Amino acid sequence: MSSPVSYELEGNIGVITVDNPPVNALSQPVRQGLLDAVTAAQADGSEALVILCAGRTFIAGADITEFGKPLKSPWLPELLAAIEASEKRVIAAIHGTALGGGFETALSAHYRCAVATAKIGLPEIKLGLLPGAGGTQRTPRLAGVQAALELITSGTPIAAEEGQAIGLIDRIIEGDLREGAIAWARDLAASDAPVRRSSEQPVPEFDPGIFDAWRAELAKRARGQIAPEHIVTCVEVGATTSFAEGMAKERELFMECMDSPQSAGMRHIFFAERTAAKVEGLAKDTPQRTIAKVGIIGGGTMGGGIAMSFANAGFDVTLIEVDDEALKRGLGIIERNYAGSVKRGKLSESDAAGHRARIAGSTDYASLADVDLVVEAVFEDPELKKTIFKKLDDTCKTGAILATNTSYQDVDAIAAVTGRPQDVIGMHFFSPAHIMKLLEVVRGAKTADDVLSTVMGLAKKIGKVPVVSGVCYGFIGNRMLKPYGETAQLMLLEGASPEQIDNAMEAWGMAMGPLRVFDLAGLDVGYKARQALSDAEKGDPKSYRVPDLLVELGRMGQKSGAGFYSYDENRRAIPDPAVDKLIEIAAEDLGVERRTITDEEIVDRLISALVNEGRKILDEGIAQRSSDIDVVYVYGYGFPASRGGPMFYADNKG
């Protein structure tokens, strides 16, 4: 099998090209090929070497598919030491995203150039790892301790020009990268530029207190994760002793992270997210419909955020509301959201203005006549939704995709009122819709394959993580939330307080405890839904008695200033003795014995409730695979990625 690395002399420049689709990951053959090329170059007539990549990107990292298997030589640190030891000056030429081991490869070169659109980064922390091939040692020597810690602990890639500003990139190449890099290599050779090894450079001046300051900051930001703390230690050892000792510390702590359950969980989610985008049985080349113009019905909590998700991705949006006043309110929410993003530095003024300009408002459905996709996000009222879908069926052009953002309604029943059920699908966004990444794509019984394929592709274009769900009450996430919430209610009656339950779950890693989530979403939502049900349909009264009593007292959660907690002006949750009293009375009334409940029992019962429902969802074929369920809970419900998702966690617990 031919090597994915080729080497050829162009005059006095040795050109090493890596060609290992899709992202030039550093698989063993790539590592071997690079080592062979650099070794060969030491003995030929080359005066400088250029390392570049074919395809869409420079090396995007170590080959994650090799993780968890015995590491094969040449090990990456050894390879990079050989590149750096080269007597011929080595130039890395970067395009696309040079990430992780890919950027570490560039750091082991003596010079780095890139096209302006390139990005560089060390995202290992997102996999529960740390740069394990010199990234924690070479980055500080080139960019300083502070910039290195920012880059490595954030894991966020930076633009080539930003890299140049902090000393990680030496030159931005205009035009063709290969030509530009070879020409620059010729100049370096002609001017006898030194073989500049970053490992031999001293770490620029730094404040010795910087490491403890970073430890304190990370203890808050990345609660319970081991990689962040280890990154600080690696940088500290390398900066305060020697490169060699730093490398030894890096190797030791990298292996500890690699073997940790946290990294196993985060690597599982990395692949699960990508697998979720694949639909079993759907041909990879299923044609996709062209989507350019999007209509959104309803500019409320969800509609505004959905409109922004599409506008931010470059789509023209028409937002429909019932009347001018509601439309004005809806557009007002959008404007406030954009202003907030600009204020927080998430968006430039001009970008926000550009996105906002793509959203037009209307109260006339006729303005949807030529849209390619409609997303309905009106009240959770089945009859209203059916009325709207009938109107859309009469108004929209043939081939337009008609999607509903409903949380619970039957997508098949909505499709049935139209003459085009094959064009109807569920697109279930999560609040706030312009921020939450999860998108449950609800496949109706009659949804056409090309409609499903189009929406799955569209999800990625608007920065969402799509997961296919079948039609059932609550699809995947909200259906699992139900037993989770009921179990929390039961434990309240049995003796655990709201803050004990929430604190136990947040200490375990959940972004937010269940009662705080329900206060955030509003207790009135469930209360209203229950009014439409018979006692039999409502289920065990223990599972909803307390929230009903709270709503009847006007305590609807954050929106009314009190729910399971009372809230101060900064919406901080404050335990309320009146609620404890109310729970005790309800428990007595329902004949529930109260007792002390441990945090372990709380975690165990709540996670089991999620997992047991997840198993039913799998058995019924509502979800394609258990890793899809993990993606739903990590991206939609604040489940910690470091635990891999409910199903992964349960499988590993045995």
Catalytic pick from 84, 87, 124, 205?
Answer: 124
Q: CA distances (Å), 45 to each of 8, 88, 112, 214, in order?
A: 11, 10, 22, 47
* Interface with ligand NAD (CB under 6 A), residue from 64, 71, 326, 472: 326
* Residue 60 binding result from ligand NAD, ligand T1G, none, given CB thresholds of 5 to 8 Å by partner type: ligand T1G
Q: CA distances (Å), 240 to each of 210, 218, 244, 246, 569, in order?
A: 12, 20, 11, 9, 46
Comparing CB distances to ligand NAD, the nearer of 365 and 565 is 365
* Residue 62 binding result from ligand T1G, ligand NAD, none, given CB thresholds of 5 to 8 Å by partner type: ligand T1G
Q: Which residue matches tokens 């730094």?
A: 206
CB count within 10 Å of CB 537 equals 8
- 3-state class of 361 per DSSP? strand
* Residue 603 binding result from ligand T1G, ligand NAD, none, given CB thresholds of 5 to 8 Å by partner type: none
Which of these segments, 144-152, 208-216, 267-275, 299-307, binds ligand NAD (CB under 6 A)?
299-307
The answer to whether residue 30 forms part of the interface with ligand T1G (CB under 6 A) is no
CB of 409 to ligand T1G, least distance (A): 32
Cα–Cα distance, 81 to 365 (Å, whole number) = 65
* Residue 321 binding result from ligand NAD, ligand T1G, none, given CB thresholds of 5 to 8 Å by partner type: ligand NAD
Q: Cα torsion at 289, 307, 423, 619 (round to 10°)?
A: 110
Answer yes or no: are the C-beta atoms of 395 and 365 closer than 8 Å.
yes
At 138, phi and psi to the nearest 5?
Answer: -80, -35
* Interface with ligand T1G (CB under 6 A), residue from 37, 76, 266, 334: 76
* Interface with ligand NAD (CB under 6 A), residue from 96, 298, 426, 513: 298
Residue ranges of alpha helices (H) inside 541-576 are: 545-552
What's the gap between Cα 58 and its chain centre? 22
* Residue 22 binding result from ligand T1G, ligand NAD, none, given CB thresholds of 5 to 8 Å by partner type: ligand T1G
* Interface with ligand NAD (CB under 6 A), residue from 375, 388, 439, 462: 388
CB of 384 to ligand NAD, least distance (A): 6
The answer to whether residue 280 forms part of the interface with ligand T1G (CB under 6 A) is no
The answer to whether residue 424 forms part of the interface with ligand NAD (CB under 6 A) is no
The answer to whether residue 502 forms part of the interface with ligand T1G (CB under 6 A) is no
Confirm whether 104 is a catalytic residue.
yes
Cα–Cα distance, 146 to 135 (Å, whole number) = 14
Comparing CB distances to ligand NAD, the nearer of 40 and 384 is 384
Residue 122's Cβ-side half-sphere holds a number of Cα atoms within 13 Å equal to 30
The answer to whether residue 94 forms part of the interface with ligand T1G (CB under 6 A) is no
CB of 321 to ligand NAD, least distance (A): 5
Q: Sort 256 into a burial class: Cβ within 10 Å, 0-12 / 13-18 / 19+.
A: middle
Cα–Cα distance, 312 to 294 (Å, whole number) = 12
The answer to whether residue 17 forms part of the interface with ligand NAD (CB under 6 A) is no
* Interface with ligand T1G (CB under 6 A), residue from 14, 33, 61, 557: 61
> Which residues in 509-548 contact ligand NAD (CB under 6 A)?
521
The answer to whether residue 274 forms part of the interface with ligand T1G (CB under 6 A) is yes
At 575, phi and psi to the nearest 5?
Answer: -55, 140
Q: CA distances (Å), 231 to each of 151, 165, 644, in order?
A: 11, 23, 21
The answer to whether residue 322 forms part of the interface with ligand NAD (CB under 6 A) is yes
* Residue 547 binding result from ligand T1G, ligand NAD, none, given CB thresholds of 5 to 8 Å by partner type: none
Which of these segments, 125-133, 346-354, 398-406, 604-612, binds ligand T1G (CB under 6 A)?
125-133
* Residue 4 binding result from ligand T1G, ligand NAD, none, given CB thresholds of 5 to 8 Å by partner type: none
The answer to whether residue 133 forms part of the interface with ligand T1G (CB under 6 A) is yes
- 3-state class of 215 per DSSP? helix
CB of 421 to ligand NAD, least distance (A): 19
CB of 278 to ligand T1G, least distance (A): 7
Question: Residue 238 — left, alpha, or beta (φ > 0 → left; ψ -120 to 50 → alpha)?
Answer: alpha
The answer to whether residue 73 forms part of the interface with ligand T1G (CB under 6 A) is no
Confirm whether 335 is a catalytic residue.
no
Give me the count of residues in the chain. Answer: 654
* Residue 100 binding result from ligand T1G, ligand NAD, none, given CB thresholds of 5 to 8 Å by partner type: ligand T1G
Answer yes or no: are the C-beta atoms of 633 and 480 closer than 8 Å.
yes
The answer to whether residue 438 forms part of the interface with ligand NAD (CB under 6 A) is no
* Interface with ligand T1G (CB under 6 A), residue from 1, 2, 22, 344: 22
Comparing CB distances to ligand NAD, the nearer of 467 and 592 is 467
Residue 48's Cβ-side half-sphere holds a number of Cα atoms within 13 Å equal to 26
Cα–Cα distance, 370 to 395 (Å, whole number) = 9
* Interface with ligand T1G (CB under 6 A), residue from 13, 16, 25, 94: 25
The answer to whether residue 357 forms part of the interface with ligand NAD (CB under 6 A) is no
Cα–Cα distance, 96 to 58 (Å, whole number) = 6
Answer yes or no: are the C-beta atoms of 24 and 18 closer than 8 Å.
yes
Sheet of 438-442: strand order equals 359-362, 316-320, 293-297, 373-376, 401-404, 424-428, 438-442, 465-469
Cα–Cα distance, 103 to 157 (Å, whole number) = 10
Q: Which amino acid is at 577?
A: P
Catalytic pick from 10, 84, 104, 376?
Answer: 104
Cα–Cα distance, 400 to 454 (Å, whole number) = 11
- 3-state class of 419 per DSSP? coil
- What does the block give as tokens for 612? 């047991």
Residue nearest ligand NAD (C-beta atom): 300
The answer to whether residue 23 forms part of the interface with ligand T1G (CB under 6 A) is yes
CB of 67 to ligand T1G, least distance (A): 8
Residues making contact with ligand T1G (CB under 6 A): 22-23, 25, 60-65, 76, 97, 99-101, 104, 123-124, 127, 129, 131-133, 135, 274
Residues making contact with ligand NAD (CB under 6 A): 297-303, 320-322, 326, 330, 377-380, 384, 388, 405-407, 428-431, 521
